[in-house]
Amino acid sequence: MATRHEFKTEVRQLLQLMINSLYSNRDIFLRELVANAADAIDKARLESLTDPAQARDWKIRIEADKNLKTLSISDNGIGMTEQEVLDNIGTIAQSGTRAFMKMLEEKGTKGEDLPELIGQFGVGFYSAFMAASEVTVVTKKSGSDAPAVLWRSQGEGEFEIDTAEREEPGTTVTLKLKEDAEIYLEHWKVSSIIRKYSDFISYPIVMPKVTVNEDKTETVTDEVLNSQKAIWLRKPSEVTEDEYKSFYSGLSNYGGTEYLKAIHMSAEGTSEFKALLFLPKQAPFNLLMPDIQKKGLQLYVTRVFITDECKDLLPDYLRFVCGVVDSSDLPLNVSREILQDNPIIGRIEKAVTARIITELKKLLENDREHYEAFFTEFGRILKEGLHTDFTNGEKLKDVVMYQSMNHEPGKFITLGEYVDAMPEGQNEIFYITGEKRAALDSYPGLEYFKAKGWDVLFMTDPVDDWIMQSMMQYRKHNFKSIAKGDFEDKESEEAMKKAGETYKELTEFIKETLSGQLAEVRFSARMTDSPCCLIVEGNALSPHIERLFKAMHQQIPETKRILELNPKHPLIEKLNAALQAGKKDEAASAAKVMFAQALITEGSPLDDPAGFAKSVTELLVKSL
Ligand code: ADP
């Protein structure tokens, strides 16, 4: 008996969009349905490895009926039970659907980029409604005695479920084509779409073709539309740009057909495998969303699909890479449990990682512009490897890039370039971490380095602080934060010591005035133009990381800053003079303003901004 069901809200909204938008490329609905059919066969084929009775002549079949104006896509794959039909295409809003709608709401789209986005979120089935006014699914679960299930919908809020006649396991999706979509009844049209998007699908995609004989009778033959050649087994020189693009668009969870580089691997010896890997061009807007973070690579064993999310084939910090690995060493009936901590997988991961790093280095050397663009998108992820990959850490240091004080905003330099440019007398690699370039540029602690002509690396990713904990050296030069720990400068040592003695009373007075807010007040030659700056202890968290944690409502110990004073600045002298003249109140209020300014330049919020504004106003009134 037929039952009616309502779509979940998100699904209904999605369908509305599919039905009502105008598309630049609506051909992709066929790619999506064929991909689903191939996935279903992959699954059935995997089961048949342990249950040979289930093996059959795997095939995807496309039929067009010009009288009924229907196009159907059939597979003899795994099929669905009634519950699975309900879960997968209807009542349950899949997380992908929800994420997709949320993204549309936030970003807004006129529909042109919709086809690109559909694949990205795993909502492909619904794209059938771009071309169909009604979609019917008849499906029978492989290996089950339950009757076949029918699902039908016009995409308008409701769908119908019923039992159906079907003997062979698998699924048929039938589209009643919209009037303006009747082109999809044409053999040439279907076959050109399949060649474009689904040529590498490893099962035959057949479509009956009618040929008119000399005696005017007609012969119908099944024509295979795709070459089925696994693209990763072919020679790179034989693969066209378009083939790479369509393969990439099917693989990538970032959407789009644009990739930066395709990498073929063919490994022999201790582990034998072939791989085709892609460096993506653009990071998805949700790069940092946890569920999209790591998908892993597709794994095949001697051309048989095993899983499309083998996470152990890539280290976390290369999670933006997508592609296929085809191993000859693993057993065919490998299970997911076997894959975990598998030494063969481990060896492949090692080889793949080394190769990707080599390719990144080549790209950096030969195509700087593209590498910088790549690094802007994915550098923050790649850098994680500096902290986590002990084997390749040194090699990764060669390919990471940073902005720096001596280079204009937006320009990246490598550590190698930094070291090469170090003048006589500079032995360490200086850096500072912070939120953004603009704030770092005006940090008073840079002044000394500017005067010396020593460059300072600007590290503005939140992960940088964490990474720098384990970055000890590059080419035998130590890394040193210019906003942390002691400042060492032989030439000024004597002068600072003297300043400490001369202004002893002043430093104590400032410390007292700002009681509780400072760990120490001292003199240093870090600054040339500014009166003071704030520093943290060598192993303390940077102020911006502290702020980040606070923003996430995380409890962390607050580190008290060290206030360093510039003895050559007139303000210090004037403060001291005021103190000596007994004008304690004036000196205290000036010290408070000076400290507040140091907090502002470091990017930290003030505890009492109104109090600060009031003091500044008073000073202005006095000075005018
Ligand atoms: P995705 O394929 O990305 O998961 P879809 O919206 O295309 O998203 O499909 C939703 C789900 O419906 C699939 O994950 C699968 O479980 C099921 N499905 C779709 N088409 C078929 C099919 N031909 N055979 C079996 N299951 C299918």
* Nearest by Cα to 578 from 500, 509, 495: 509
Tell me: do 473 and 518 sit in the same domain: no
- Nearest residue by C-alpha to atom 10 in ligand 1: 88
Where among 164, 197, 224 does a domain terminate?
224
Closest C-alpha to ligand 1, atom 1: 122
Domain shared by 236 and 216, yes or no: no
pLDDT confidence bin for 96, thresholds 50/70/90? low
Q: Which of 349, 359, 328 is nearest to 236 (CA)?
A: 359
On whether both 334 and 214 belong to a single domain, the answer is no
Spatial contact of 483 and 445, defined as CB atoms under 8 Å apart? yes
Same domain, 220 and 235: no
Rounded Cα distance between 623 and 428, Å, is: 43
Q: Are residues 435 and 521 in the same domain?
A: no
Q: pLDDT tens digit string along 338-352?
A: 777 889 999 999 999
pLDDT, residue 291, reads: 46
Q: Residue 216 — pLDDT band, cuts 50, 70, 90?
A: confident
Task: Please report whether residue 388 resides in a domain.
Answer: no
How many structural domains does the chain have?
4
Ligand 1 lined by 171 (C-beta under 6 Å): yes
Q: State the distance from the centre of ligand 1 to the C-alpha of 11, rounded, in angstroms.
A: 14
Domain hosting 256: range is 231-371
Q: What is the percentage of the chain residues whose pLDDT exceeds 70?
A: 90
Whole-prediction pTM: 0.70
Last residue of a domain, one of 192, 224, 256: 224
Residue having the nearest C-alpha atom to atom 12 of ligand 1: 88
Quick one: pLDDT at residue 255? 62
Q: Are residues 153 and 235 in the same domain?
A: no
Which of 68-72, 192-196, 242-246, 619-623 holds the top average pLDDT?
Answer: 68-72
15 lines ligand 1 (CB under 6 A): no
Evaluate the CA torsion angle 46, 50, 53, 57 in order and state its sign. positive
Confidence (pLDDT) at 286 = 56
Q: What is the CATH number of the domain that holds 422?
A: 3.40.50.11260
Query: Ligand 1 pocket: which of 74, 125, 144, 174 to mutate (most atoms <8 Å of CB)?
Result: 125
Per-residue pLDDT tens over the stretch 109-159: 655 566 556 655 556 788 899 899 999 999 999 999 999 999 999 988 899
Whether 380 is in a domain gets the answer no
Phi, psi of 147 (to 5 degrees): -65, 160
Q: Does residue 392 lie within any of the structural domains? A: no
Does 78 contact ligand 1 (Cβ within 6 A)? yes
Structure tokens at 432: 């500072």
Domain membership of residue 394 (yes or no) is no
Side-chain-side CA neighbours of 389 within 13 Å: the count stands at 23
The tens digit of pLDDT for each residue in 45-56 reads: 888 888 889 999
CATH number of the domain encompassing residue 139: 3.30.565.10
Q: Is residue 527 part of a domain?
A: yes
Residue from 88, 168, 252, 295 to probe ligand 1 pocket by mutation (most atoms less than 8 Å from CB)? 88
Among 207, 224, 241, identify where a domain stops. Answer: 224
**Ligand 1 neighbourhood includes 97 CB (under 6 angstroms):** no
89 Cβ closer than 6 Å to some ligand 1 atom: yes
- SS in 3 state form for 330-374? CCCCCCHHHHCCCHHHHHHHHHHHHHHHHHHHHHHHHCHHHHHHH
- Please report the DSSP string for 490-510 in residue order: HHHHHHHHHHHHHTHHHHHHH
- Return the CATH number at 617: 1.20.120.790
Q: Residue 432 Cα, ligand 1 centroid: separation in angstroms?
A: 49
Q: How many helices (H) and strands (E) does the chain have?
A: 23, 23
What is the end-to-end Cα distance of the chain in Å, rounded?
A: 90
Rg over alpha carbons for the chain, rounded to the nearest Å, is: 33
Co-location of 150 and 262 in the same domain:
no
Mean pLDDT of 584-599: 92
Q: Is 470 part of a structural domain of the chain? A: yes
Ligand 1 centre from 613 Cα, in Å? 61
Would residue 395 count as lying in a domain? no
Does 417 share its domain with 560? no
Do 138 and 7 have their domain in common?
yes
Closest protein CA for atom 14 of ligand 1: 88
DSSP class of residue 542 equals: P
Name the amino acid, one letter, at 326. Answer: D
Mean pLDDT of the chain: 88
Do strands 322-327 and 273-280 pair parallel, antiparallel, or not at all (unpaired)? Answer: antiparallel
Cα–Cα–Cα angle for 513, 517, 523, rounded to 5 degrees? 75
Shared domain check, 244 and 111 = no
**Residues 188 and 321 reside in one and the same domain:** no
What are the angstrom distances between the C-alpha of 590 and each of 135, 144, 509, 576, 593? Answer: 76, 83, 12, 11, 5
Same domain, 361 and 420: no
| Residue tagged 């490998």 (tokens) | 334
Residue 592 counted as domain residue: yes
Residue 366: pLDDT over 70: yes
CATH assignment at residue 297: 3.30.230.80
Q: Is the CB of 34 within 6 Å of ligand 1?
A: no
Report the pLDDT value the prediction gives residue 564, as an integer from 0 to 100.
94
Token pair in block for residue 66 = 């010009």
